C-alpha cells in the first residue's frame, strides 16, 4: 500500500544563490521519510512531500538548520491562535512606541506654546532677543518633527514615490510647510523684513498639530484593538492539548497540532473538547454556546458529533477525531467571520471612491487656497494668511474618519454575531438583511423541529398507561424507524424500566412486533392490526379519527391480540417559534410560512405561531418560485430554511438564512447561517443588521459632513462674510476627534444584546 504523504511548505531563510537552494534541497531529500523535496530560490520556499509517520515539520526544519539555513515561521501554516497572538504582540509594541512619541510631543508642545505667546506681551518682548527666542523654539521643535512626527514624513515620502497619497501626506505637507516657513523666518529674517513682513514663526502650530494627531492615533489604536475583541476571544477558545488514547490504552496529553484523524480522545467533565469528532463511548451534556449561541447544554451520546472548543459539562466520554486544524467547525467559523470582515458593504462604495481620489484633490484645494489668499489678502499679511489656511485645509481634510466608518462597524458586528451563533457571510448580506420586510419560513425544521415526536398517548380505560408505554418502548427500541425513535425518546423522557423484548420482527411499511413480559405486542398502523386479526373497538376508532383530523400520524398498540391504545405522532412546533415570530412582526416584518403539508395542517401550525399568510402543498421544486412570487409583490424577502432542497430558494431570496449547522449546500447558498436551531437567530440577525447599518450610516454621515464642511471653513470661505478662520491647531484637534468618535460609535455595537 502506498503510504499516505503530507505536503509541507517551508520558508527558507539565508539562501544567497541558486546553489544554496540545491544544497537545501539535497539535505531535505536525504531526511528519512521525505519522498520529494523542491526548493525554489526565487520564492525562498521549499515544498516537501513526506510520510507523516517517519518525518514531521520539526524534523524537516531541523534538516534545513543542519544545512546551515533557517526556516521562517510561515504565517498561514501557524494556527489562527498563534497568528493573532503574534499580530497582537506587534500591535502592543507599536502602541507603546506611539504613546512614547505622543508623550514627548505633548511635553515639548507645552513648552513651545507659552514661549510663542511671549510676543503678546510687549513689555517682555522688549527684553528678549527675538532672534534668540526663535532659535530656542526651533531647537525645541526639531525633536517633535524628527522623532514624534518622523513616521508621517517617511510614510508621505514612500507614498509619493509610489504615486500614492495617504493621510500622512496631508499631515506631512501641512506641518512641513508651517515648519519650513518658520525655519526661513528664523534663519533669514532679513528676507521678510525687507519686504515689509514680520518674520513670524509657527513652531507652536507645527508642534501642536503633531501632538494632537498623535493623540488621535493613540485613541484610535486603543479603540481599534477592541473592534476585533470578539474574534480574538473566539480564536482563543481553541484547546491547546488533547488527551489521546494510545493503541496500548495509555492516555497521553499531546499538543493539539499533533492530533491526527482517527485518534481516540478522552474528555473529562469540565474539560474542553479538543477537536471535532464522533462519540464512541460514554455520554455527556455539552455547552456549545461558544459555537451556537445556545445557552442550554446539549445532551450527547454514542454516535453524536462533538465540536472542538465546546465545554464538556457532566459526563466523561471518548470520541474519534474526524476533523483537525482548519477543517474544524471553530476554524470554519473563524474563517467565515474573517472573510466577512474583509468584504465591503455596498454602502461603502461611495466612501471608497472618495477615499481613492481624496488626498491628491485636497492637496490641490490647499494649493489653490494658498494662491487665492496670497492674491486677495492685504499685502502685509498675505503670506502668513495664505500659509495658515493652506495648513488648515490639509490638516482638517484628513479622511481617516471616512476610512474607518464602515469597516469598524462590520468588524464589531460580525464578531458580535458569531458570539450569538449568527454567522454573516459578508457585509453585503448584512446590508440586505437590513432591508428585509418579509420573512418566508419553510415550516419543517424551522418553525417545527423537523422530526416526529409523540404528542398523544391514549389508552383504553383500565390500562396502566405508564406500564404500557414502557412495554411499547421495549419493542420500538429494536426498530430503526424514525417514528419508533420518537416513541423511545418519549418513553425515556418519562423515565422507568428498560424492559427486555424478544422475537422482534419488523413488518415493512406497517410496524413491528415482539414479545414483552410473555405477551405478544404489536405496534404499527391500522393495516398491521388488521393483518394480525386484531379488531378495533368503536371508542378507539373515534379517538384515532380525532388524532388524524389534527394531521397526526397514528400508531395502534395491541397486547396479546387486544387493541389497547394509540400513539399520536407529529412534527411539533419549537417552543421558541411563536415568540420569535411575534418579535419579527413587532419589527414590522411580515412573516409568511410555506410547507409541503396540506392546507389543513398548514393552517393549524400557522395559527399556533401567529402567522396569517401561508403557502400549503408547496413541492420542494416550487420553493424558489414562492420566493419569486413574494418578490414580484415588491417585497424584500428573507428566506429561512434548513434542508438541502431549500438551497435554490435560499439563493433566490434577497437574503438567505440557513438554520441549524445544517447542510453545507444550504450554508453555501445562504448569506447568513444560524448555528442555533431555532427562529431566535433570525430575530438576532435582523436586529443586528439593522443596528449595524444604522451605525454605518451615522458614521458616514459624520465623516462626510465633517470633511465636506470642514474643508471650505478651513479654506477661509466664511472669512469674507463672518470673519471666521479655522486655526490649524483647531483643525488638528477636530481631525483627531473625528476618527475617535466614529470608532466609539462603532464600538457601541458591542453592547448589542437581543435577549
Partner 1 sequence: MDTPAIMVTVIGLALAGFVLWYFFFSARQTANAVSSSSGVQEVAITVKGGYSPDVIEVERGKPVQLSFYRDEENSCSEELLMPDFSIRRDLPAFKTTLVELLPKEAGTFTFTCGMGMLRGSLVVK
Q: Which residues contribute to the site for Cu ion (CB under 5 A)?
A: 167, 398, 400
Nearer to partner 1, 536 or 717 (CB): 717
Cβ 623 vs Cβ 595: under 8 Å: no
Minimum distance, C-beta of residue 216 to Cu ion, in the bound complex (Å) = 6
Q: Pairing mode, if any, of strands 519-524 and 553-559?
A: antiparallel
- CB proximity list for 242: less than 8 A, separation 6 or greater: 253, 254, 256, 259, 263, 265, 274, 275
HSE, side-chain direction, 13 A CA sphere, residue 382: 14
Q: Tell me: does residue 118 bind partner 1 (CB under 8 A).
A: no
Choose between 168 and 288: whose C-beta lies nearer to partner 1: 168
Smallest gap from Cβ 212 to Cu ion, in A, equals 10
Q: What residue 340 binds from partner 1, Cu ion, none (CB within 5 to 8 A, per partner kind)?
A: partner 1
- For residue 261, the minimal CB distance to partner 1 (Å) is 23
CA dihedral over 676, 682, 683, 686, signed as positive or negative: positive
Place of cell 378507539: 540
Question: Is there a contact between 294 and 288 (Cβ–Cβ < 8 Å)?
Answer: yes
- Distance between CA atoms of 456 and 402, rounded to whole angstroms? 61
Residue 162 interacting with partner 1 (CB under 8 A)? yes
The distance of closest approach from Cβ of residue 138 to Cu ion in the complex, given in angstroms and rounded to an integer, is 26
CB closer to partner 1, 338 vs 485: 338
- Please count the residues of this chain forming the interface with partner 1, following the rule CB under 8 A: 65
Least Å distance between CB 636 and Cu ion? Answer: 36
Site for partner 1 in 352-381 (CB under 8 A): 352, 355-360, 363-364, 367-368, 370-371, 374-375, 379
Rank residues 368 and 548 by Cβ distance to partner 1 and give the closer one.
368
d(CA 278, CA 192): 84
Among 110, 154, 180, 497, binds partner 1 (CB under 8 A): 154
Partner whose binding site includes residue 530, from Cu ion, partner 1, none (CB under 5 to 8 Å by kind): none
164 binds partner 1 (CB under 8 A): yes
Q: If binding is defined by CB under 8 A, does position 159 make contact with partner 1?
A: yes
Which of 32, 70, 270, 342 is in the footprint of partner 1 by CB under 8 A?
342
> Terminus-to-terminus CA distance in the chain, angstroms?
56
Among Cu ion, partner 1, none, the one that 29 touches (CB under a kind-dependent 5 to 8 A) is: none
Among Cu ion, partner 1, none, partner that 155 touches (CB below 5 to 8 angstroms by kind) = partner 1
Please, what is the minimum distance in Å from the beta carbon of residue 736 to Cu ion?
7
- Does position 709 interact with partner 1 (CB under 8 A)? The reply is no
* In the complex, least distance from residue 124 CB atom to Cu ion, rounded to whole angstroms: 37
User: Site for partner 1 (CB under 8 A): which residue of 5, 23, 29, 38?
Assistant: 38
**Contact predicate 572/449, CB 8 Å:** yes
Neighbours of 81 (CB within 10 A): 17
Catalytic residues: 442
With vertex at residue 621, the alpha carbon angle to CA 617 and CA 622, rounded to the nearest 5 degrees, is 55
Which of partner 1, Cu ion, none lies near 151, with the C-beta cut-off 5 to 8 A by kind? partner 1
CA–CA dist 438, 689 (Å, integer): 15
Contacts of 307 (CB under 8 A, 6+ apart): 273, 276, 288, 291, 328, 329, 330
Compare residues 224 and 490 and give the one whose CB is closer to Cu ion. 224
Other C-beta atoms closer than 10 Å to the C-beta of 68 total 12
Whole-number Å distance between alpha carbons of 254 and 265: 10
Report the relative pairing of strands 553-559 and 562-573 from DSSP bridges: antiparallel
Partner interacting with residue 370 (select from partner 1, Cu ion, none; CB below 5-8 Å by kind): partner 1
Place of cell 458614521: 699
Q: Which is nearer to partner 1, 470 or 738 (CB)?
A: 738
Please select the residue that binds partner 1; options are 27, 227, 312, 426, rule is CB under 8 A.
426
Q: Which is nearer to Cu ion, 395 or 468 (CB)?
A: 395
| Partner whose footprint covers residue 548, from Cu ion, partner 1, none (CB < 5 to 8 Å by kind) | none
Report if residue 474 touches partner 1, rule: CB under 8 A: no
- CB of residue 355 to partner 1, shortest distance in Å: 4
Is 633 one of the binding residues for partner 1 (CB under 8 A)?
A: no
Q: What b/e string do you get for 128-162 counting C-beta neighbours within 10 Å, with b at 16 or more?
A: eeeeebbebbbebbebbbeebbebbbebbeebeee
Q: Does 18 bind partner 1 (CB under 8 A)?
A: no
341 binds, among Cu ion, partner 1, none (CB under 5 to 8 A by kind): partner 1
Whole-number Å distance between alpha carbons of 169 and 395: 10
Q: For the CB of residue 204, give the shortest distance to Cu ion in the complex, in Å.
A: 20
* Residue carrying the nine cell digits 418502548: 473
- CB of 723: closest distance to partner 1 in angstroms? 23
The entry of partner 1, Cu ion, none near residue 438 (CB within 5 to 8 angstroms by kind) is: none
Smallest separation, CB 696 to partner 1 (Å): 15
Q: Which position among 54, 66, 129, 158 is part of the footprint of partner 1 (CB under 8 A)?
A: 158
340 binds partner 1 (CB under 8 A): yes
Q: Which does 268 bind (CB under 5 to 8 A by kind): Cu ion, partner 1, none?
A: none
Closer residue to partner 1, CB minimum distance, 99 or 382: 382
Q: How far apart are CA 670 and CA 422, in angstroms?
A: 12
417 binds partner 1 (CB under 8 A): no
Return the SS3 of 290: helix
- Sequence-distant (6+) residues with CB within 8 A of 27 are 63, 64, 66, 67
The yes or no reply on residue 755 touching partner 1 (CB under 8 A) is no
Q: Give the one entry of Cu ion, partner 1, none that residue 398 binds, where binding means its C-beta sits below a cut-off of 5 to 8 angstroms depending on kind.
A: Cu ion
Q: Which residues contact 743 (CB under 8 A, 6 or more apart)?
A: 219, 220, 223, 224, 227, 404, 408
Distances (CA, A) of 653 to 575, 623, 640, 646: 26, 10, 9, 11
Say which DSSP state 148 is in. Answer: I
Question: Which cell numbers hold the place of 138?
Answer: 526651533
Which strands, in side-by-side order, build the sheet including 501-507? Answer: 448-459, 562-573, 553-559, 519-524, 511-516, 501-507
Smaller CB separation from partner 1, 49 or 456: 49
Tell me the per-residue interface mask from 44 to 83 with partner 1, x by CB under 8 A, - otherwise.
Answer: ---x------------------------x-xxx-------
Question: Which residues of this protein are in contact with partner 1, per CB under 8 A?
Answer: 11, 38, 40, 42-43, 47, 72, 74-76, 86-87, 90, 94, 151, 154-168, 217, 221, 338-344, 351-352, 355-360, 363-364, 367-368, 370-371, 374-375, 379, 382, 386, 399-400, 402-404, 407, 426
Amino acid at each position: 500500500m502506498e503510504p499516505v504523504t503530507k505536503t509541507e511548505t517551508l520558508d527558507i531563510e539565508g539562501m544567497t544563490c541558486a546553489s544554496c537552494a540545491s544544497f537545501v534541497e539535497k539535505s531535505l531529500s536525504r531526511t528519512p521519510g521525505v519522498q520529494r523535496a523542491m526548493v525554489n530560490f526565487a520564492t525562498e520556499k521549499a515544498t516537501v512531500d513526506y510520510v507523516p509517520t517517519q518525518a514531521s515539520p520539526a524534523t524537516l526544519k531541523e534538516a534545513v538548520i543542519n544545512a546551515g539555513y533557517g526556516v521562517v515561521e510561515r504565517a498561514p501554516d501557524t494556527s489562527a491562535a498563534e497568528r493573532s497572538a503574534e499580530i497582537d504582540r506587534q500591535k502592543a509594541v507599536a502602541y507603546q512606541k506611539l504613546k512614547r512619541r505622543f508623550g514627548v510631543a505633548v511635553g515639548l508642545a507645552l513648552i513651545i506654546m507659552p514661549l510663542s505667546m511671549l510676543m503678546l506681551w510687549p513689555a517682555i518682548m522688549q527684553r528678549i532677543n527675538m532672534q534668540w527666542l526663535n532659535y530656542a523654539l526651533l531647537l525645541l521643535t526639531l525633536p517633535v518633527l524628527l522623532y514624534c512626527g518622523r513616521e508621517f514624513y517617511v510614510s508621505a515620502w514612500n507614498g509619493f514615490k509610489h504615486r500614492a497619497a495617504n493621510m500622512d501626506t496631508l499631515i506631512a505637507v501641512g506641518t512641513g510647510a508651517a515648519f519650513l516657513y518658520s525655519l526661513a523666518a528664523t534663519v533669514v529674517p532679513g528676507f521678510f523684513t525687507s519686504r515689509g513682513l514680520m518674520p513670524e514663526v509657527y513652531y507652536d502650530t507645527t508642534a501642536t498639530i503633531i501632538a494632537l494627531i498623535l493623540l488621535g492615533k493613540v485613541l484610535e489604536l486603543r479603540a481599534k484593538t477592541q473592534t476585533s475583541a470578539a474574534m480574538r476571544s473566539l480564536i482563543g477558545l481553541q484547546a491547546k492539548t488533547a488527551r489521546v488514547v494510545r493503541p496500548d490504552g495509555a492516555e497521553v496529553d499531546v499538543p493539539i497540532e499533533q492530533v491526527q484523524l482517527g485518534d481516540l480522545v478522552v474528555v473529562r467533565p469540565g474539560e474542553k473538547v479538543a477537536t471535532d469528532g464522533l462519540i464512541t463511548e460514554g455520554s455527556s451534556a455539552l455547552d456549545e454556546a461558544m459555537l451556537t449561541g445556545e445557552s442550554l447544554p446539549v445532551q450527547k451520546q454514542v454516535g453524536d458529533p462533538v465540536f472542538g472548543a465546546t465545554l464538556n459539562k457532566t459526563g466523561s466520554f471518548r470520541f474519534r477525531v474526524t476533523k483537525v486544524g482548519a477543517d474544524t467547525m471553530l476554524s470554519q467559523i473563524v474563517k467565515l467571520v474573517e472573510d466577512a470582515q474583509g468584504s465591503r458593504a455596498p454602502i461603502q462604495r461611495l466612501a471608497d471612491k472618495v477615499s481613492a481620489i481624496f488626498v491628491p484633490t485636497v492637496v490641490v484645494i490647499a494649493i489653490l487656497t494658498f494662491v487665492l489668499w496670497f492674491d486677495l489678502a492685504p499685502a502685509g499679511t498675505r503670506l502668513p494668511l495664505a500659509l495658515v489656511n493652506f495648513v488648515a485645509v490639509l490638516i482638517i481634510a484628513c479622511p481617516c474618519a471616512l476610512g474607518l466608518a464602515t469597516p469598524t462597524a462590520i468588524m464589531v458586528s460580525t464578531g458580535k454575531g458569531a458570539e450569538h451563533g449568527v454567522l454573516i457571510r459578508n457585509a453585503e448580506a448584512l446590508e440586505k438583511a437590513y432591508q428585509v420586510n418579509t420573512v418566508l419560513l419553510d415550516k419543517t425544521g424551522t418553525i417545527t423541529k423537523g422530526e416526529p415526536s409523540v404528542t398523544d398517548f391514549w389508552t383504553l380505560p383500565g390500562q396502566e398507561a405508564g406500564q404500557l408505554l414502557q412495554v411499547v418502548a421495549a419493542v420500538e427500541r429494536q426498530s430503526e424507524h424514525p417514528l419508533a425513535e420518537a416513541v423511545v425518546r418519549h418513553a425515556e423522557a418519562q423515565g422507568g424500566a428498560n424492559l427486555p423484548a424478544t422475537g422482534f420482527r419488523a413488518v415493512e411499511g406497517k410496524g413491528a412486533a415482539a414479545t414483552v413480559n410473555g405477551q405478544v405486542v404489536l405496534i404499527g398502523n391500522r393495516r398491521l392490526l388488521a393483518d394480525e386479526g386484531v379488531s378495533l373497538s368503536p371508542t378507539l376508532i373515534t379517538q384515532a379519527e380525532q388524532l388524524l383530523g389534527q394531521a397526526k400520524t397514528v400508531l395502534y398498540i395491541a397486547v396479546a391480540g387486544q387493541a389497547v391504545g394509540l400513539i399520536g405522532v407529529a412534527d411539533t412546533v419549537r417552543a421558541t417559534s411563536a415568540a420569535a415570530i411575534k418579535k419579527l412582526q413587532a419589527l414590522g416584518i411580515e412573516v409568511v410560512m410555506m410547507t409541503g403539508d396540506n392546507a389543513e395542517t398548514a393552517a393549524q401550525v400557522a395559527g399556533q405561531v401567529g402567522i396569517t399568510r401561508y403557502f400549503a402543498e408547496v413541492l420542494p421544486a416550487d420553493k424558489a418560485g414562492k420566493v419569486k412570487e413574494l418578490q414580484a409583490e415588491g417585497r424584500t424577502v428573507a428566506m429561512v430554511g434548513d434542508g438541502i432542497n431549500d438551497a435554490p430558494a435560499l439563493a433566490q431570496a434577497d437574503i438567505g438564512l440557513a438554520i441549524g449547522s445544517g447542510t453545507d449546500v444550504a450554508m453555501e447558498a445562504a448569506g447568513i447561517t444560524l448555528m442555533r436551531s431555532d427562529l431566535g437567530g433570525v430575530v438576532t440577525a435582523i436586529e443586528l443588521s439593522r443596528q449595524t447599518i444604522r451605525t454605518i450610516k451615522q458614521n458616514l454621515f459624520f465623516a462626510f459632513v465633517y470633511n465636506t464642511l470642514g474643508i471650505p471653513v478651513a479654506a477661509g470661505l466664511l472669512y469674507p462674510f463672518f470673519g471666521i478662520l479655522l486655526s490649524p491647531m483647531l483643525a488638528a484637534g477636530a481631525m483627531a476627534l473625528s476618527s475617535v468618535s466614529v470608532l466609539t460609535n462603532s464600538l457601541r455595537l458591542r453592547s448589542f444584546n437581543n435577549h
